[in-house]
Amino acid sequence: MRILVTGMVSSLFMCAVCNANAATLTIESWRSDDVDIWREKLIPAFEAKNPDIKIDFAPTRPAEYTTTLNSKLDAGSAGDIITCRPFDASLELFNKKQLVDLTSLSGMENFSPVAKAAWSTDDGKSTFCVPMASVIHGFIYNKDAFDRLGIAVPKTEEEFISALVRIKADDTYIPMAMGTKDQWEAATMGYQNIGPNYWKGEDGREALISGKQKLTDADWVKPLEELAKWTAFLGNGFEYQTYSDSQNLFTLGRAAIYPAGSWEISLFNSQAQFKMGAFPPPVPKAGDTCYISDHPDIGVGLNAKSTHQEEAKKFLTWVASPEFADIYANSLPGFFSLNSNPVKMSDPLAQEFVSWREMCKPTIRSTYQILSRGTPSLETETWAAAANVINGKQTPEEAAAKLQAALGGWFKPVIVQQPSTARSSACLTSFGEASVPSAFAFGPNVMKSYADNASIPGIIRRIVLTTGLAPRFAAYPAKIGTACASRDADLQPVIYYDEDWLKDYSKGDYWIQLGVLAHEIGHLVNGHGTGDGLNQYQREIEADVFLGRVVALISGTIQEAELGVSLQPEEGTATHPPRFVRRASVDQGYRGTNQQ
């Protein structure tokens, strides 16, 4: 017995020594709502496989995050892992050498160039944060309240205001829960939520960057005019109401509508005791094209001054893994994984948000790329402007004029390069072994068109939406006698396809057409191209695996999946596998997806 006790004490002592020697990584974040998810699910999953590394998730209030983080980084007291905002804010940290270059980090191959774009340099050569998720803006509403008052989900601006008027007249609920004390909600969940329907999404954002439009133009003033109408429906004391106050008002059932992002879903599911629904930003008038902010939102990087560089890279490699993507996306429904490995979502509210991709054109928040690189930042200026308009301190025109003056004080228009009508470099990959001209004409980007599902653009959109990809690559019809994946002059991912060739090659078969296009998109998703460390034979196999996954996700059969490569040569070459290998690769992707 003495020997047994001694052994036990020795083991406990050794365990204590192990824990004492464990490195602790501190995560800086603005996502205070996610504390329980990190501490109960994500951290235990990582530490179970890495007992020598401990994780401390230490968030800051959202409104204070950027200022607090910058101060900590400058002082050398920031945590090891930095939660990264997209585009300019994190790019500035990288340019200041406060974030480590993660381009070669193990696991980054799980993200397409599209997914990495929000945390990469303008030339795409360096990536400094591991992409985690995108979010979609809209409105969450109390279904019980709507049913009780007989209110239909509003689709137009007029219907939206009418619903608010009716809710206010009933006097049971605050029509809409949003405060202006923290300011950022007025911009993020107000202006950036409804604005794309007026400035026409990417068209307006790119026009602003190129100098073709100004913030004083009607398309940019109109959203502020709409925000001014919200004042009457936010309840008493909204000027002193914080973000968390608004969340509580809604989840306690005291408000009927919440201007939201999909990031709220997890918290609301855990707190609300009533049925919830969601609707996209109402369009100005019936029949207008709808636009949604489908925004790459969150990534994680490595503090250049961390004293635990290797441990931090080990953690970031795990964040880049399919295991993390699955736990994160299903623990936090509404954060849509950017990992190339498909993640099945079960939450109905999250599925509602994602369904808007089928009917609305996507864009990102107008202030996040390029326009917030100077001082003052257009992002923080927009916080104040949106809040001031709702508070009645500025008219929409005054706020717009102040925004334009702030931006004009430092910003010089940048020409947003659109693909020209001729291309001077060959495709990186092409379907089969077809040769492609070194220069060719091509049509408009079909990712900005919304044709029926049976058309080629419709098939491309179905692939993108089914896999949960943010549609941030371009697809162009071109007379090239095949389909191919490539990069445009700005190194942005694109596919080209010859519609006549595709219809002739497939003899009109839907699944063959889908297979060809899914294969080419698979090249983009896998980041294929020079410098990826693969030969062309390996690239073709990976693209075929993706093809199989796509068909599985849209509930096709394995036979329909195999049709995508059924017309490829029986014999292989140095660059393209034989047909039986390609079928096996498709089967691998199909069966692997159905087993998840």
Question: Distance (Å, rounded) from C-alpha 409 to C-alpha 397?
Answer: 18
Q: Same domain, yes or no, for 329 and 238?
A: no
Q: Same domain, yes or no, for 301 and 376?
A: no
Tens digits of per-residue pLDDT, 423-448? 333 566 667 666 665 556 666 777 65
pLDDT recorded at residue 596:
58
Q: Which residues pair with 53 in a beta bridge?
A: 23
Question: Distance (Å, rounded) from C-alpha 230 to C-alpha 226?
Answer: 7
pLDDT recorded at residue 14:
42
- List Cβ neighbours of 7 (8 Å cut-off, separation of 6 or more): none
421 lies in some domain: no
Question: Distance (Å, rounded) from C-alpha 481 to C-alpha 19?
Answer: 62
Q: Same domain, yes or no, for 307 and 289?
A: no
Q: Same domain, yes or no, for 31 and 159?
A: no
Q: Give the CATH number, domain containing residue 251.
A: 3.40.190.10
Q: Which amino acid, residue 407?
A: L
Q: CA 266, 269, 270, 273: dihedral to nearest 10 degrees?
A: 160
Q: How far is CA 324 from the centre of its chain?
A: 16
Q: Same domain, yes or no, for 186 and 90?
A: no
Question: Distance (Å, rounded) from C-alpha 262 to C-alpha 33?
Answer: 13
Question: Distance (Å, rounded) from C-alpha 27 to C-alpha 59?
Answer: 7
41 lies in some domain: yes
Q: Give the tokens for residue 373.
A: 């690189």
Domain count, the chain: 3
Q: Which amino acid, residue 173?
A: Y
Question: Distance (Å, rounded) from C-alpha 558 to C-alpha 590?
Answer: 7
Domain extent, residue 584, equals 429-594
pLDDT of the chain, 596 residues: tens digit per residue? 333 334 434 443 444 444 557 899 999 999 998 999 999 999 999 999 999 999 999 999 998 999 999 999 999 999 999 999 999 999 999 999 999 999 999 999 988 776 788 999 887 789 999 999 999 999 999 999 999 999 999 999 999 999 999 999 999 999 999 999 999 999 999 999 999 999 999 889 989 998 999 999 999 999 999 999 999 999 999 999 999 999 999 999 999 999 999 999 999 999 999 999 999 999 999 999 999 998 899 999 999 999 999 999 999 999 999 999 999 999 999 999 888 777 777 899 998 998 887 788 888 899 998 899 899 999 999 999 999 999 999 999 999 999 999 999 999 886 544 333 333 335 666 676 666 655 566 667 776 554 455 688 888 888 887 776 655 678 888 888 889 888 776 667 888 898 889 999 999 899 999 999 999 999 988 888 766 778 888 899 999 999 999 999 888 999 999 999 999 999 888 888 999 999 999 999 999 876 65
Bridge-based pairing state of the strands 53-59 and 23-29: parallel
396 lies in some domain: yes
Q: Same domain, yes or no, for 307 and 266?
A: no
Question: Where among 310, 328, 346 does a domain terminate?
Answer: 346
Distances (CA, A) of 360 to 114, 287, 293: 19, 12, 10
420 lies in some domain: no
Q: Same domain, yes or no, for 379 and 437?
A: no
37 lies in some domain: yes
Q: Which amino acid, residue 280?
A: P
Question: Distance (Å, rounded) from C-alpha 44 to C-alpha 35?
Answer: 13
pLDDT recorded at residue 20:
54
Bridge-based pairing state of the strands 360-363 and 290-302: parallel
Question: Distance (Å, rounded) from C-alpha 117 to C-alpha 126?
Answer: 10
pLDDT recorded at residue 114:
64
Q: Same domain, yes or no, for 103 and 152?
A: no
The Cβ of residue 585 has, within 10 Å, a number of other Cβ atoms equal to 21
Q: Same domain, yes or no, for 468 and 560?
A: yes
418 lies in some domain: no
Cα Rg of the chain (Å, integer): 25
Long-range own/partner contacts, residues 502-506 (CB < 8 A, 24 or more apart): 502/456, 505/567
Q: Same domain, yes or no, for 65 and 156?
A: no
Give the three-class secondary structure for 174: strand
Tens digits of per-residue pLDDT, 579-591? 999 999 999 999 9
275 lies in some domain: yes
Q: Same domain, yes or no, for 277 and 314?
A: no
Question: Distance (Å, rounded) from C-alpha 154 to C-alpha 392?
Answer: 25
For the chain, what's the residue count?
A: 596
- List Cβ neighbours of 103 (8 Å cut-off, separation of 6 or more): 125, 126, 127
Q: Same domain, yes or no, for 104 and 127?
A: yes
CB 357 within 8 A of CB 292: yes
Question: Distance (Å, rounded) from C-alpha 396 to C-alpha 388?
Answer: 9
73 lies in some domain: yes
